[in-house]
């Protein structure tokens, strides 16, 4: 896989995502000398911009988000930036874009350096994905590896809002692009600590033999946030936590924790194993009695010492909204490896602190030689894989406390990412952009995974949204807590999993 030259064409180039994430990431990659020799960035969107005003806008985004950017480097980067205005619905606009890209390629500054390769990044609302993908195809901009170079399309979640709409979106994308041209981003996969899960599991001989129902009591996957719904109320109130966090990040973390080793570290082999894991998800007990599910919504409270409003008091959230901002799901995988082992997936907004981690609790010792000798329980071994804020792997095990009398205590074996040196870590968007340019789909969703996870979650969503009883199942929790108390009824180890310091 190589970093090939290309034109990075950003749809929604003057929008929020571009200025907050994409452009700073592109600038940083340029500063680290990680972009290919022949690259250009072509912004496109509905707004009128001259080349100069677009460049100025990108400079402003750096002022705001990378305040210590190198002014000289910026001046060197400027001639690589272009703008081309278009109306998303009008195919002629896309034909114009095609001509513009050819002109840029033929220009004195670029001299064909992009080799006709194009990466289309859709930094626009998902409602526009279908239109843009379709029109790119109609305008002849979706070519698959031909003489004139490749084209690839990058989309971000949500990939639809249920199984049917995910399929519909995919059908449209596929009308113009083949699967290996479509890059569906999940920024969790770009986190170093998340990538490390597979290395930890499969590049060591000692963990895999115990990674199953014989030794593991439960697996708890937690993505707790202290932030509220922020400025995204319009989107969030329709999505809720199950669509916002579960269909994507939580399911990826589940697959990485539970999948079997692939035969090769290759995008499709790895994604095959993930899909096999999703296929083994035991369908939820629908119409269930919410026995494997706790939903919650935050009320006013105090987070990090600051009073914050409840979800229903947030700007633009309907007063009677029953959108869940917290969910805990107990899922089972029907396989020989995992039969009977609960996987608790928990995520919520306005919780005590931001923490993302996976906790694996091992079974009790089969027999305690200390029974009747020491009045102290032997704690079960726990393995913590910290994703945020502590990027660590901690194994808790029991040891003798140095003392004349017999006394046990849990102690930690520690591995910290920051201790291990290496090159500067790439931010999620930097990593994702590089992989798209290289054509490496390892860290991206494949459509079968998208459909399998929607297939699993859609009946749960329907049960929640159509049963008309959601209100009675939606537990209120004060902002700044760890969620509704009922979470501990479903998963008694929950508090310990979140409060244990790593």
CB atoms inside a 10 Å sphere around CB 85 = 18
Residue placing its CB nearer to ligand BG6 in the complex, 230 or 288: 230
Residue that is written with structure tokens 């269909």 in the block: 247
State the DSSP string of 305-344: TEEE--GGGSTT--TT----SEEEEEE-B-STTTTT--EE
Pick out residues in 276-295 that bind ligand BG6 (CB under 6 A).
none
**CA 480 → CA 219, 228, 307, distances in Å?**
24, 10, 9
Pick out residues in 182-201 that bind ligand BG6 (CB under 6 A).
none
Closest CB 225 distance from ligand BG6, rounded Å:
5
Going along 182-269, which residue ranges are E strands? 182-185, 216-224
Residue placing its CB nearer to ligand BG6 in the complex, 105 or 244: 244
Using the rule CB under 6 A, is 356 a contact of ligand BG6?
Answer: yes
Closest CB 237 distance from ligand BG6, rounded Å:
12
Among 162, 170, 244, 314, binds ligand BG6 (CB under 6 A): 244
Residue placing its CB nearer to ligand BG6 in the complex, 240 or 484: 240
Say how many residues touch ligand BG6, by CB under 6 A: 3
CA 345, CA 141: separation in Å to the nearest integer? 41
Closest CB 421 distance from ligand BG6, rounded Å:
24
Residue placing its CB nearer to ligand BG6 in the complex, 141 or 428: 428
Closest CB 244 distance from ligand BG6, rounded Å:
5
Known catalytic membership, residue 414: no
Class of residue 261 by CB neighbours under 10 A (exposed 0-12, middle 13-18, buried 19+): middle
Catalytic residue among 249, 394, 473, 491: 249
Q: Determine contact, residues 320/312, Cβ cutoff 8 Å.
A: yes
CA 183, CA 433: separation in Å to the nearest integer? 10
Closest CB 33 distance from ligand BG6, rounded Å:
26
Provide Rg for the chain, Cα atoms: 25
Using the rule CB under 6 A, is 430 a contact of ligand BG6?
Answer: no
Residue placing its CB nearer to ligand BG6 in the complex, 225 or 435: 225
- Nearest residue to ligand BG6, scored by beta-carbon proximity: 244
Longest Cα–Cα distance in the chain: 85
Which tokens in the block code for residue 58?
Answer: 């990108």
CA 465, CA 468: separation in Å to the nearest integer? 7
Using the rule CB under 6 A, is 225 a contact of ligand BG6?
Answer: yes
CA angle centred on 185, ends 329 and 176, rounded to 5° = 120
Catalytic residues: 249
Contact footprint for ligand BG6 (CB under 6 A): 225, 244, 356
């Amino acid at each position: 896989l190589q970093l090939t030259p290309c034109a990075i064409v950003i749809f929604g180039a003057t929008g929020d995502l571009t200025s907050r994430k994409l452009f700073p990431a592109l600038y940083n990659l340029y500063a680290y000398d990680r972009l290919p020799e022949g690259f250009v960035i072509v912004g496109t969107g509905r707004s009128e911009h001259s080349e100069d005003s677009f460049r100025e806008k990108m400079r402003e985004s750096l002022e705001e988000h990378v305040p210590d950017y190198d002014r000289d480097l910026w001046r060197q980067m400027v001639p690589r930036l272009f703008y081309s205005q278009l109306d998303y619905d009008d195919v002629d606009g896309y034909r114009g874009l095609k001509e513009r890209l050819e002109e840029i390629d033929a220009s004195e500054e670029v001299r064909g350096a992009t080799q006709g390769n194009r990466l289309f990044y859709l930094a626009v609302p998902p409602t526009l994905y279908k239109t843009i993908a379709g029109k790119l195809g109609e305008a002849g901009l979706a070519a698959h590896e031909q003489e004139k170079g490749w084209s690839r399309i990058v989309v971000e979640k949500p990939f639809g809002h249920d199984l049917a709409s995910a399929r519909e979106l995919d059908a449209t994308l596929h009308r113009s692009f083949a699967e290996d041209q479509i890059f569906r981003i999940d920024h969790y996969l770009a986190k170093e600590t998340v990538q490390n899960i597979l290395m930890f599991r499969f590049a060591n001989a000692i963990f895999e033999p115990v990674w199953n129902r014989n030794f593991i009591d439960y697996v708890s996957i937690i993505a707790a946030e202290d932030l509220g719904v922020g400025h995204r109320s319009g989107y969030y109130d329709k999505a809720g936590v199950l669509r916002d966090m579960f269909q994507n990040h939580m399911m990826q973390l589940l697959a990485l924790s539970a999948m079997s080793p692939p035969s090769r570290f290759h995008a499709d082999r790895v994604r095959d194993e993930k899909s096999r894991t999703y296929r083994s998800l035991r369908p939820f007990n629908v119409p269930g009695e919410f026995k494997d599910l706790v939903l919650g919504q935050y009320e006013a409270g105090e987070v990090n010492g600051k009073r914050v409003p409840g979800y229903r008091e947030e700007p633009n959230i309907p007063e009677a909204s029953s959108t869940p901002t917290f969910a805990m799901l107990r899922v089972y995988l029907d396989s020989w490896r995992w039969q009977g082992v609960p996987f608790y997936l928990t995520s919520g907004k306005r919780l005590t602190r931001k923490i993302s981690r996976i906790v694996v609790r091992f079974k009790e010792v089969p027999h305690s030689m200390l029974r009747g000798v020491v009045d102290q329980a032997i704690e079960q071994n726990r393995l913590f894989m910290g994703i945020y804020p502590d990027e660590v792997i901690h194994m808790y095990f029991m040891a003798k406390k140095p003392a004349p009398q017999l006394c046990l205590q849990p102690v930690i074996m520690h591995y910290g990412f920051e201790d291990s040196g290496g090159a500067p870590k790439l931010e999620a968007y930097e990593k994702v952009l590089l992989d798209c340019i290289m054509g490496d789909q390892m860290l991206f969703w494949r459509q079968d995974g998208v459909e399998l996870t929607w297939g699993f979650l859609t009946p749960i969503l329907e049960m929640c949204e159509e049963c008309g009883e959601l209100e009675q199942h939606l537990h209120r929790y004060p902002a700044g807590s760890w969620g509704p108390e009922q979470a501990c009824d479903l998963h008694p180890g929950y508090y310990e999993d979140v409060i244990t310091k790593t």
